[in-house]
Structure 1
C-alpha cells in the first residue's frame, strides 16, 4: 500500500490512501481495557458513546444524549442509524454487552471499572441505564475514554478481542501485520457520512527519527511524536509542516512517600528545591516543554491560580535537610529511568548532578518499563522518572487524581495517602458544576506541589510531522485517522 497514492477511480468521496506512523504497537491482543483501545481510536476504527473535544467539551458520538436520572443513575440514548461493520445493528443489547465485557476484564480500565460502575442494563432498544457505585457527575467523561469503545457482539466470542469488522468507525481493518502495521479500508456504510480517504495504513515504528524520515521521503504523510532533534531538522525543509501542541502530560520525579527518608516532607521539598526545572527543559527538552508548576500546566482550567515553577535553590535545599534532621550524605538514592521514556537517560543524569550539589548520591537504574512496574506498584523502590498524562484515563483529571493520589489508587506510585485529599477528590467526583469541580482539583494540585509529593519537572509537548496536501489533521490524544482526513485536492 503506497503512501498518498491513487487507488483508481474518482468518486466524490476520494480515492486516495494515506500512511500514518505511530510510535506504539498493540500489545494486548486488542483488549480494550488496555492502551490497545487508543491504537484503535487513532486508526479510525473504534468509537465511543461520547466524543472528547480538546476544548474540554463532550459531544455525542454513538450516543445522542445522556441524562442523570438519579444521584447514581444515568440514561444513555443511542443513535438509531448505526451499524457495526459486520452489518449488525448497534442497539442497547450490543452496548450493554460491550460495557459488561470491559467491567469483567481481569484488570479493568480505571475509567470504567467495578470500583465506579455498579451496573449496566438495557431499558429498551435505544436506551442504556448505567448505575454508579457513588454519585458520579463525570459518567459521560468516562464514556469518552477509548477503553469504553463499543465493538459488535462477535468481537468478544473468541479467546481474544477481535476488532476486524466489528467497529463502527469510518475505517475497517482489512489486514494486520503483527507488531508492524494495520491496513484499513473506507467504511462505505459509515453512519457519520462520507469518508474522504479510500484506504490507509498505520505503521508502528518505535524509532522517532525513522518516523520523521519517512515523512521526508514521502513514505508516510503523518508521523506522530517526533523527537525534538528531528523537529529542528524538519522545520528547515519544504513540503512538510510540524504541528506542535502542549499535551496534558507532565514528566515527574516520583518519590516513594512510604520509604525513608522520603516519608519526611522536608526531604522531598529539599529534592524539589535542588532541581532546576528551567535548566532541565532547556537542556533535555530543548525548549519543547515548560518548567512544571505542579501536575497541571498553566492555562488549564484546573491549575491553581498563579502557580509557578519552584525556583532552584541549593541553600534552601540544604536547610530543609537540616530541618528534617537528615544528613545529605546519608541519602543514597536509586533513580529508575525506564528505557521507553523520551530523554529519560539524559534527564536522570542531570538530576544526578543537581542532587550531588547538595550532597545526595544518586545511582541510575535503566530498564524496560514492564520489568520495573511491579516494584513501582508494590513500593519496592525509592525514586523513578515518569511521564504521566492527566487526561489519559478519561478526559477529566478525576481519573488521574483518583488513580495516582488516593489511598487506594490503582496507580499510586508515590504511595501517598491522605484521607483529606481522598475526601476532596471524592467530593469533586459528585460535583456537577465544572468551575467548582476544577477548584477542587486546583486545591489538590496545590497540596501535591507544596508538599512535594512528587517533583513535577516539565509539561510536555507533542510534535507531528505532516506532509503538504494533508487536510483535516489535528494533534489529538484519541483520534488521528478520521472521516474528514484527506489528501491533495479532496
Structure 2
C-alpha cells in the first residue's frame, strides 16, 4: 500500500487509542490529511513535538492489516515475511523503498536475552552482527581476526528509579542515602569494563543542557548520615526507625545483562548498612511498573535524548501524565518548569530551562542516575559492509548494509 497522509493519520490515531500514555505524550488535538500533506494541531504550543514521535509506539504501520501484531507492515527498506514474537523476525527487501532498494535481499533479527549466547553466535558464524555482546567476551571476540568490536557512546542512562509513593522514599534523606550508596565508578569499571561514563544526571555531559552539578555526599558513611537525618539508626546490624527495619524491593530485568549485576552490587552495599534489599526479576519493566506499585526501586535503562532534545525525557519521566513517570513524580514546581519548557521555542532558552529542571531533579533526588553505557556491537568485518553503530540505537538495518 502507498503510504500517504491518511495512512499516517490512521496510524497515529491507533497509537493514541491503544495507549493513554502515548495520547498524553503527543497532546494532539486534531489531525487532517490531504494527499501526502499531514497537518497536526496540538492542544498547546509544543516545540518538542517531533521528539515525541521518536518512539517505537508511534512507528507508522498499516492499520488496515487485520493482524498487524503478527504481520506488521511498516515504512522501511524491508518488509516482514515472518514474525515469531520473542524469537525472530524475518525480513525481505522492499523494492519500492523511497531511498533506494536495499543491498541485502533478506535479513533475520534473532532475539536472545542471554548475552553470552549472542557472543557465541558470532564466534560460531550463526550471526553476522551481534548487538550488545557479553562484556566479558569482548577480549576473546577481539582476538578473532575477522571480528570487529565497536563501543559507541549513546544517549542512554542506567538509573535507579524510585517509587515516590512508598512512605520511606518520600523522605528526601532516604533518597539521598540511596544515591550515596551507588558506587558508580566501581560499577562502570567492574560490570561495564570501562564501556560507560559515570552519570551525574539523565543527560550525557556532551549535551548543552547537561548542567554542572554540585558535589554530593557519597559512600557508606554519607549514606549512614543521611539515614540518621531521616531518623534511622542501626540496631544489632539492622537499619530501623521506630523499631521497623528499612527494607526495599528492587526490580530488575535480564534483557540488559548489566542491570541485574548493578542490582546485586547495590544489594550488597545496602546490606553493609543493615538494609535488606529483596531483588525481584521481572520481564517487561514498563508494563510491570505501570501496573504494580508493590516495589521501591528499579534498575532501569532509558534513552534520554534520542533526538537531541531534553523535552522528551523530562516530559515522559517527570510530568504527572508522562508515559515513563513510573516513580509517580507529581511536584507542582517541577511540572511548572516542564510546562514552561514545552512553551519555549528558542533553543538556547530551552537549554537553560532544561538545565534548571535537571538541577532541581538532582536537588530533590527524583531517581538516581548511575551511568551512561556505551553501545557494544561485534560483527564479522570480513563479510559485513557499511555497518554503522548509531548513538540513538534506533537505526540498525539500513538500505546500505550489506553482507558479502
| TM-score tier after normalising by the smaller chain length | 0.7 to 0.9
Match of 1:117 in 2: 28
Matches within 5 A, 1:398-437: 398-437=311-350
Matches within 5 A, 1:22-101: 88-101=1-14
SS at match of 1:205: coil
Q: 1:471 and 2:385 equivalent?
A: yes
Q: What's 1:152 paired with? A: 62
Shift of 1:231: 1.9
**C-alpha separation between the residues in 1 aligned to 2:63 and 2:85?**
23
Q: Is the 8 A contact 1:226 1:462 kept in 2?
A: no
Q: Any runs of at least 4 consecutive aligned residues in structure 1 with deviations exceeding 6 A, and if so which?
A: none
Does residue 245 (structure 1) correspond to residue 156 (structure 2)? The answer is no
1:262 is paired with a residue whose SS is helix
The CA distance in 2 between the partners of 1:94 and 1:376, in whole Å, is 30
Match of 1:346 in 2: 261
**Cα shift at 1:108:** 4.8
Shift of 1:114: 7.3
Residues of 2 paired with 1:343 and 1:232: CA distance?
17
* More helix per residue: 2
Is contact 1:254-1:386 (8 Å) kept?
Answer: yes
Find the aligned partners of 2:84 and 2:285 in 1 and give their Cα distance.
26
Alignment counterpart, residue 297 of structure 2, candidates 369, 375, 383:
383
CA drift at 1:137: 0.8
8 Å CA contact retained: 1:407, 1:419:
no
Partner SS, residue 230 of structure 1? helix
Following superposition, the deviation at residue 414 of structure 1 comes to 2.1
- Contact 1:142 1:395 (8 Å CA) reproduced: no
Q: State the Cα distance separating 1:391 from its structure 2 match.
A: 3.6
User: Which string of whole-angstrom CA distances, capped at 9 and with x for unpartnered residues, describes residues 31-64 of structure 1?
Assistant: xxxxxxxxxxxxxxxxxxxxxxxxxxxxxxxxxx
Query: Partners of 1:171 and 1:162 in 2: how far apart?
Result: 16
For 1:23-422, what aligned pairs fall within 5 Å after superposition? Answer: 88-105=1-18, 107-108=19-20, 110=22, 113=24, 116-122=27-33, 124-152=34-62, 154-155=64-65, 158=66, 160-161=68-69, 163=71, 166-304=73-211, 306-307=212-213, 310=216, 312-328=218-234, 329-330=239-240, 331-340=245-254, 341-357=256-272, 359-370=273-284, 373-374=287-288, 378-391=292-305, 396-422=309-335
SS in 2 for 1:294: coil
Contact 1:244–1:461 (CA under 8 A) maintained in structure 2: yes
Q: Deviations over 1:226-255 (max 9, x none)?
A: 121122321222111111112222222222
Residue 160 of structure 1, CA deviation: 4.3
Alignment equivalent of 1:485, drawn from 387, 401, 404? 401
- Deviation of 1:162 after TM superposition, in Å, equals 5.8
Listed as ranges, the gaps of 5+ residues in structure 1 are 1-87
Structure 2 stretches of 5 or more lacking a match?
Answer: none
The answer on 1:440 being equivalent to 2:353 is: yes
Q: CA deviation at 1:144?
A: 3.9
Give the Å deviation of 1:118: 1.2
Aligned mates of 1:485, 1:161 — CA distance in 2: 26
Q: Which structure exhibits the higher relative contact order, with contacts defined as CA atoms closer than 8 Å and separated by 6 or more residues?
A: 2
| TM-score (structure 1 length as normaliser) | 0.73
Contact persistence 2:103–2:402 (CA under 8 A) = yes
Q: Which residue of 2 aligns with 1:4?
A: none
- What is the deviation of 1:211? 1.6
In the comparison of the two structures, how many residue pairs are matched? 392
Equivalent residue of 1:299, what SS? coil
Shift of 1:421: 0.9
Cα root mean square deviation, aligned: 2.6
CA distance in 2, matches of 1:367, 1:456: 20
Query: Could you tell me the TM-score, scaled by structure 2's length?
Result: 0.87
Q: Flag the 1:280–1:308 CA change in 2: closer, same or farther, 3 A.
A: farther
For 2:161 and 2:370, the matched residues in 1 are separated by 10
Residue by residue over 1:55-103, the C-alpha shift from the partner in whole angstroms, topping out at 9 and shown as x without a partner, is: xxxxxxxxxxxxxxxxxxxxxxxxxxxxxxxxx3322222222222222
State the alpha-carbon separation in 1 of the partners of residues 285 and 299 from structure 2.
14
Contact 1:98 1:150 (8 Å CA) reproduced: yes
Deviation at 1:422, TM superposition (A): 0.7
Answer yes or no: is the 8 Å Cα contact 1:293–1:309 preserved in 2: no
User: Greater shift after overlay, 197-206 or 307-316?
Assistant: 307-316
- Partners of 1:464 and 1:168 in 2: how far apart? 25
Cα shift at 1:484: 0.8
